[in-house]
């Protein structure tokens, strides 16, 4: 087993003597820095995507079973009657985990930014609200069941799933996630292009050496090994620099976001899986560079005799 691993390793990476065929450092050039920039941007885009995903999941989990019942009745007495009846019915109904009547004062407070501080005293009728947490998801069947339950006792009741109100927000969050994924893919494409150029340039710069070792019986894979290792190491080095800078930026933004104290911002924080994924990006970059370099070099060598 160990022998097989060593053999596999030597198939991919050249030994110390073979490495000397291509002078160390000559391939470095701008490659690590280009990769550093690419990985920096990739990590930021991925972090944004993961944060948005986390926020969307959090909100979705919170709202999945949440329903609001509004008693929309201009007559305060009728409204109060229907409100009390609805609360009683809902408390006894199966499938409802929590019934939370919202006090009128709280409703007035909610409306204050639009109606002014004395919204409750004005002649404008405000609906009475009841928040519900269902045991399951607030799907159409459940909503219909609640509507039917309240139809007689509270005909002015309007039953809405909170998730429906936030549909456009979810759409926006979904778009942002796709955008982040698109950016990550575009950056991967740009990194690939940079590696292709770097590999071609390295091949051109060492054409004599390659021709000599070819004529001495070297295989394409042996030649490719000389370059792919160096390019992969350059990519890993650049990737780690890019990751370190991106993590600094993310931590800085996270610290500022926490000061906002917004629930949405809190929900958008990265968990350990998120951080792990970000940490794997330079490794993915290295593997991408490794295989891109290998394929580029093998293709270029394949055109020669």
Partner 1 sequence: MDNVVQFENVGLRYGTAAETLSDVSFTLFPGSFYFLTGASGAGKTSLLRLLYLAQRPSRGMVRLFGTDTVTLSRERLPGFRRRIGVVFQDFRLIQHLSAFDNIALPLRIAGVKEKDLRKPVEEMLEWVGLAPRADARPATLSGGEQQRVAIARAVIGRPEVLVADEPTGNVDPDMAVRLLRLFEALNRLGTTIVVATHDIHLMSRVERATMMRLDKGRLSDPTGALRYPPRPGDNVGWKAT
Place of tokens 């109606």: 115
Q: What is the largest CA-CA distance in the chain?
A: 100
Distances (CA, A) of 3 to 8, 10, 19, 267, 300: 9, 11, 21, 49, 32
Rounded distance between C-alpha atoms, residue 178 and residue 208, angstroms: 46
Subset of residues 223 to 282 that bind partner 1, contact rule: CB under 8 A: none
- Give, as one character, the DSSP assignment of residue 103: P
Among 1, 2, 17, 152, which residue sits at the site for partner 1 (rule: CB under 8 A)? 17
Would you count residue 7 as binding partner 1 (CB under 8 A)? no
The count of other CB atoms within 10 Å of the CB of residue 177 is 18
Phi/psi for 52 (5° steps) reads -65, -40
Would you count residue 13 as binding partner 1 (CB under 8 A)? no
Would you count residue 215 as binding partner 1 (CB under 8 A)? yes
Residue 190 Cβ vs partner 1, minimum distance, rounded to whole Å: 32
Rounded distance between C-alpha atoms, residue 85 and residue 214, angstroms: 90
Would you count residue 18 as binding partner 1 (CB under 8 A)? yes
Q: Which is nearer to partner 1, 192 or 218 (CB)?
A: 218
What are 275's two structure tokens?
């951080």
Among 219, 256, 262, 273, which residue sits at the site for partner 1 (rule: CB under 8 A)? 219
Q: Which is nearer to partner 1, 11 or 172 (CB)?
A: 11
Binding mask 19-48 for partner 1 (x = CB under 8 A): -xx-x-------------------------
The enclosing H or E element of 114 equals helix 104-115
- Cβ-proximal residues to 92 (8 Å cutoff; 6+ apart), any chain: none
Rounded distance between C-alpha atoms, residue 240 and residue 258, angstroms: 27
Would you count residue 9 as binding partner 1 (CB under 8 A)? no
Q: Which is nearer to partner 1, 128 or 218 (CB)?
A: 218
What are 186's two structure tokens?
């575009």
Residue 291 Cβ vs partner 1, minimum distance, rounded to whole Å: 20
Q: Which is nearer to partner 1, 24 or 92 (CB)?
A: 24
Among 205, 220, 254, 291, which residue sits at the site for partner 1 (rule: CB under 8 A)? 220
Residue 234 Cβ vs partner 1, minimum distance, rounded to whole Å: 19
Among 28, 54, 162, 209, which residue sits at the site for partner 1 (rule: CB under 8 A)? 209
Among 48, 213, 233, 281, which residue sits at the site for partner 1 (rule: CB under 8 A)? 213
Would you count residue 205 as binding partner 1 (CB under 8 A)? no
Rounded distance between C-alpha atoms, residue 177 and residue 190, angstroms: 20
The count of other CB atoms within 10 Å of the CB of residue 274 is 18
Size of the site for partner 1 (CB under 8 A): 20
Binding mask 115-154 for partner 1 (x = CB under 8 A): ----------------------------------------
Helices within 151-271 (DSSP H only): 162-165, 167-205, 207-215, 220-260, 263-267
What are 234's two structure tokens?
């350059």
Residues that bind partner 1 (CB under 8 A): 17-18, 20-21, 23, 208-209, 211-220, 222, 302, 305
């Amino acid at each position: 087993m160990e022998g097989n691993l060593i053999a596999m390793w030597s198939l991919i990476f050249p030994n110390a003597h073979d490495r000397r065929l291509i002078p160390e450092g000559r391939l470095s050039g701008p490659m690590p820095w280009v990769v550093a920039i690419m990985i920096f941007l990739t990590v930021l885009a991925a972090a944004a995507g993961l944060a948005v995903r986390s926020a969307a999941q959090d909100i979705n989990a919170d709202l999945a079973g949440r329903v609001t019942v509004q008693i929309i009745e201009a007559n305060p007495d009728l409204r109060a009657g229907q409100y009390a009846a609805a609360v009683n019915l809902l408390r006894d109904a199966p499938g409802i985990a929590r019934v939370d009547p919202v006090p009128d004062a709280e409703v007035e407070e909610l409306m204050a930014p639009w109606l002014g501080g004395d919204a409750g005293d004005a002649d404008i009728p405000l609906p009475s609200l009841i928040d519900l947490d269902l045991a399951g998801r607030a799907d159409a069947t459940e909503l219909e069941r609640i509507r039917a339950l309240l139809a007689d006792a509270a005909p002015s009741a309007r039953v809405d799933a909170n998730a429906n109100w936030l549909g456009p927000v979810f759409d926006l969050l979904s778009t942002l996630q796709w955008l982040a994924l698109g950016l990550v893919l575009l950056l991967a494409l740009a990194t690939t292009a940079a590696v292709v150029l770097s590999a071609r340039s390295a091949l051109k710069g060492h054409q004599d050496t390659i021709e000599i070792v070819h004529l001495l019986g070297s295989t394409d894979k042996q030649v490719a090994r000389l370059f792919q290792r160096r390019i992969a190491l350059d990519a890993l080095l650049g990737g780690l620099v890019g990751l370190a800078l991106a993590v600094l930026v993310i931590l800085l933004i996270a610290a500022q976001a926490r000061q906002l104290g917004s629930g949405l911002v809190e929900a958008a924080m990265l968990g350990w899986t998120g951080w792990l994924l970000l940490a794997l990006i330079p490794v993915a970059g290295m593997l991408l560079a490794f295989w891109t370099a290998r394929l580029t070099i093998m293709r270029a060598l394949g055109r020669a005799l």
